[in-house]
Structure 1
């Protein structure tokens, strides 16, 4: 069941951050053309061992309200059917003047053996290292971990939950001094299987807070 929803998660994530926008073709005048600038390395692709990483060097500002997001309905480790993630009344950003700002998008995929004819996907990570603004909502079922400071709670170790109701949360990101990111992590099988959410940590600081045998590290 989990194997069939990796693409769904990807499109949900992209839809969330791009949903307020619309696009159309427009002929540019000569004066507008003079003001266009370019940027190198919009996309960076790397392969290390059996992990591929795509970095999209883009800046997104969004204010989005979503009634409900549910991901990962299955029998988790023989404990019965349920949702890994069940969120309602979500808000990305506070209003149109206080948007959620996302700098850079990351897609990482771990495989068992990239040299094989048909490598198997072991884990998919989609998210960003660098957020500024607020994500709020009712987290009726939450699986993963969040940094307590971004939830307005006293500083401590990461708050880890497995399909628990953490009620209404207001996650406030401030990446001015350190990366505070947001990631959705899909592990189709194995002891770390499931759909986890990581809130408030970036690739550069996550390993300072999680032990080597947790789900963030490569399978």
Structure 2
């Protein structure tokens, strides 16, 4: 199965590189837009966000976390997001929505990191590394892979609409295999967010609020 999946990925990359490029450009565009969006906040918005952030940092080192509940929530949210992308991939009209979701994810990431870096300088970068980066090292590649798989299958459906003789079953099987792999990665990201990220945040908060 692993060898077949590897072969499928190589074939997909060779034949569908324009879709990979489109997904990557869309995500990066979202990051850039989020970065600039954080710089466009007015002083009142910045002040409120900083107040909320400072309150959180002062309390973070004392937080008691319900691990089981957090695991359930994070994994559920991750899988729900992938589920939406998966369902959109089963339709031709889902392609622009998939790109919109990908852009929004990039925007959120870019906005968060930009705000922390702009307003908290070195402290903000340390906080971003501890709170944003760990789970996203797994989650972002998984989302990109799911988006590419969904866009590729939507494109296949469009070509099938124009050519009824085009086989669709191999693509459907490959699509489900890739989504299954993505779901496993997203579950792992949820575990990281529940077990590792809170401890990093606690350590960072204790260090920065000394």
Query: Is the structural similarity TM-score above 0.5?
Result: no
- TM-score range (shorter-chain normalised) is under 0.3
Structure with greater helix percent: 2
Structure number with larger C-alpha Rg? 2
Q: TM-score, normalised by structure 1?
A: 0.21
Structure with greater strand percent: 1
Q: TM-score, normalised by structure 2?
A: 0.22
